[in-house]
């Protein structure tokens, strides 16, 4: 149980375009979903926390207009990177937390490359 999927697993896009990443909890309802970014050889950096039906809470330094997060249902959250630039190239990982657990379950991640 507690499986989280992410799609796509890998995406290459051109500078200036937008990319949408989906995160789904497959066998549980996720009241909270988290979006992280990880640059090579660095740790996970929390970008934002989203609760179903509410606006996402962004971490300091993360541009909310650039990284649009929607948590439309208890099983789906999306991250849209708008007007992507090469410096946005990174490994984006979502996680989901059920209502009753302290644990968060990670998706497999999305490798974004902006050319």
**Interface positions with another protein (CB under 8 A):** 32, 34, 42-44, 46, 49, 91, 93, 102-109, 111
Name which of 45 and 82 has its Cβ closer to another protein.
45
Name which of 55 and 111 has its Cβ closer to another protein.
111
Residue of 68, 65, 90, 78 lying closest to 11 (CA atoms)? 90
Name which of 6 and 78 has its Cβ closer to another protein.
6
Could you tell me the smallest distance in angstroms from the CB atom of residue 40 to another protein?
10
Q: What b/e sequence results for 1-28 when a residue is b if at least 16 CB atoms lie within 10 Å of its CB, and e otherwise?
A: ebebebeeeebebeeeeebebebbbeeb
């Amino acid at each position: 149980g507690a499986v989280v999927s992410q799609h796509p697993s890998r995406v290459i896009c051109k500078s200036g375009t937008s990319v949408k990443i989906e995160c789904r909890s497959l066998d549980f309802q996720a009241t909270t979903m988290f979006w992280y970014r990880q640059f090579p050889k660095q740790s996970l950096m929390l970008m934002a926390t989203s609760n179903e039906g509410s606006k996402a809470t962004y971490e300091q330094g993360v541009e909310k207009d650039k990284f649009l997060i929607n948590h439309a249902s208890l099983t789906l959250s999306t991250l849209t990177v708008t007007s992507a630039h090469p410096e946005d190239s990174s490994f984006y990982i979502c996680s989901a937390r059920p209502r009753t657990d302290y644990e968060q379950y990670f998706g497999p991640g999305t490798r974004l490359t902006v050319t």
